[in-house]
């Protein structure tokens, strides 16, 4: 759930690196022999600002990150659609590995999120003896989420200036477990239907994780790319990566 959010952090940092840089950004020249380390340190320095949001650079707060909708489960006799999704914990992560390849125009990142939370409204359709259709809030948390992210970027020219554009990103999330709690809008947590849905959320974790992971990856990637490109419009390539150590 979370790897792609680091991308927001990474791309925010990379985007800001070389304009008229504010004091909370560490500048890293593209000839720096330790470019990866420099950018990584810049990201960690930038995190408190990204957590709050940077309005003058069109950067929203990472806490929480809002996603319109995510299909969470689509397995036999059980479908769940999450709407008004709020993802938390994405501003707290550890970078295991990062490499920025300016020649191939590619960024590869491995990160760990200690804890990710998701609050949302759910529309659950299931067949438990009889068909049911329930709506209500759900809280979900997952720990130690590993993410591998690969981001491609291009150098485009506009009005005589070179700009960075991010056309695509692939994210692979490794979610091993979760805790989920569904509550019906009509009957709270103790009615039989709600109890049955919560039972499925517990007993079918492997299938649900398999079903929801690609949808989470896609939703987060789209959000991060949108934010990254909105940030990049403020800077030229040479401002972001000055040709110096």
pLDDT for position 187: 54
pLDDT for position 19: 44
pLDDT for position 17: 42
Q: For residue 67, give the nearest of 50, 87, 53 by alpha carbon.
A: 87
pLDDT for position 166: 93
pLDDT for position 31: 93
Distances (CA, A) of 110 to 2, 6, 99, 160: 11, 9, 9, 35
**pLDDT over 90 (residue 192):** no
pLDDT for position 129: 54
SS3 content of the chain, % helix, strand, coil (to 5): 30, 40, 25
Residue 106 pLDDT level (bands cut at 50, 70, 90): very high
**29-86, pLDDT tens digit by residue?**
999 999 999 888 888 887 888 788 888 877 888 788 888 888 887 777 778 888 899 9
State the CATH class of domain 3-240: alpha beta
Q: For residue 13, give the nearest of 36, 56, 46 by alpha carbon.
A: 46
**pLDDT over 50 (residue 236):** yes
pLDDT for position 131: 61
pLDDT for position 16: 43
Residue 10 pLDDT level (bands cut at 50, 70, 90): low
Q: Where are the domains of the chain?
A: 3-240
Q: What is the mean pLDDT of the chain?
A: 81
**pLDDT over 60 (residue 9):** no
**pLDDT over 70 (residue 180):** yes
- Contact status, residue 224 vs residue 9, Cβ threshold 8 Å: no
pLDDT for position 89: 86
**124-151, pLDDT tens digit by residue?**
776 665 566 767 788 889 999 999 999 9
**pLDDT over 60 (residue 185):** yes
**pLDDT over 60 (residue 117):** yes
List, in sequence order, every beta strand (DSSP E) within 15-77: 65-75
Which helix H or strand E contains 182, and what residues bound it? strand 179-182
């Amino acid at each position: 759930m979370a790897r792609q959010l680091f991308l927001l952090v990474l791309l925010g940092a990379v985007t800001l690196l070389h304009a008229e840089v504010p004091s909370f950004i560490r500048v890293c020249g593209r000839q720096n022999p330790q470019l990866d380390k420099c950018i990584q340190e810049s990201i960690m320095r930038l995190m408190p600002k990204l957590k709050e949001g940077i309005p003058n650079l069109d950067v929203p707060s990472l806490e929480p990150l809002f996603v319109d909708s995510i299909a969470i489960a689509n397995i036999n006799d059980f479908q769940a659609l999450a709407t008004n999704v709020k993802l938390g914990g994405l501003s707290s992560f550890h970078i295991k590995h990062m490499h920025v390849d300016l020649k191939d125009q590619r960024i590869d990142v491995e990160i760990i999120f200690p804890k990710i939370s998701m609050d949302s409204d759910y529309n659950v359709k299931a067949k438990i003896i009889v068909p049911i259709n329930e709506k209500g809030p759900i809280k979900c948390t997952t720990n130690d989420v590993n993410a591998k992210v690969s981001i491609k970027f291009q150098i485009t020219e506009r009005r005589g200036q070179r700009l960075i554009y991010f056309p695509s990103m692939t994210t692979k999330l490794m979610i091993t477990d979760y805790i989920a709690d569904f509550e019906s809008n009509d009957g709270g947590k103790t009615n039989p239907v709600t109890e049955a849905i919560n039972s499925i959320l517990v007993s079918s974790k492997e299938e649900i994780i398999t079903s929801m992971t690609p949808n989470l990856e896609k939703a987060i990637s789209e959000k991060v790319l949108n934010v990254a490109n909105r940030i990049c419009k403020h800077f030229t390539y040479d401002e972001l990566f000055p040709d110096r150590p």
